[in-house]
Structure 1
Amino acid sequence: MKMQLGRKAVVGDTNWTNYSFRAKATKKKGIRGFILYFGHLDEANCTMWEVGSFTNTESMIHAMSSGTRSCLTQNLLSIELDVEDELEVRVEGRKIRTFLDGELVSETEHLVPVIEPLYYSASVEEASGDVIVKVVNA
């Protein structure tokens, strides 16, 4: 895949589990690098690799679920102007690895959130007026 227009590319579907893809990209202008979307259902439900994000200083893998973004991993990385880079994403189940020009950039796992019980109580001590809140994360 060769990205020529803009800085975004979309690959894959949310039901894909084991796959890899490569893209060659050349940064021509601007302060940011590229975004590769994968595991893509729509703009609110996908996974993305931002290469040279945040003023071209970071590499970040994000997961979007119902429009809420979570950062799975973040590294220092910058993209040079007018240099063709080979970007690669490897997905094995829920494990994600990214490579820039054959070198490992990041490795993470997109875990399914587990909602744990949270117990709480609150009371007021009448003599002092203090509010006492107790919270236990099981």
Structure 2
Amino acid sequence: MRGAYDVRLFPKEFQDETYLDWERDYKWNAHREWHAGLNRSAYRSFLREGQFTEIAALVIRIESRTNLLVSFEKMALRDAVKSAAGTPLLSMALEGRRKNLMSVRCHCGASTKANKSPDVAGGESVRKTERHAGCSSQVRSGLPV
């Protein structure tokens, strides 16, 4: 095994056609689509005009055709843009005004299931909550971002 990939699977390594097909091309195409639809000037125009829903729709459309995000990140993204408050926050997060998607989920009130742990004294389930750094709302601990 050389590097991250088995040369038996990809004999030409990063120039191997199978590697390009399975691992690279769809990511590069998503990158190109992102820059075509959401380049700096288009993005600024969307922001200026308050077209946050359009930004979110483009992000979801590009992301849904790839495996760039793992399943819990996909859920977090979709949860974040379900509410009217989520789309502007996602737009700001893309610009770097928010630290991460967890901040977007917290501020827009995305629904999540509580992480429960047994209470030692009574044997009941108790919700564990914590304050997310940089976020004014409480977040249930142990949940994926």
The interval holding the TM-score normalised by the smaller chain is under 0.3
Q: Which has the higher contact order (CA 8 A, sep 6+)?
A: 1
- TM-score normalised by the chain length of structure 1: 0.24
- TM-score normalised by the chain length of structure 2: 0.23
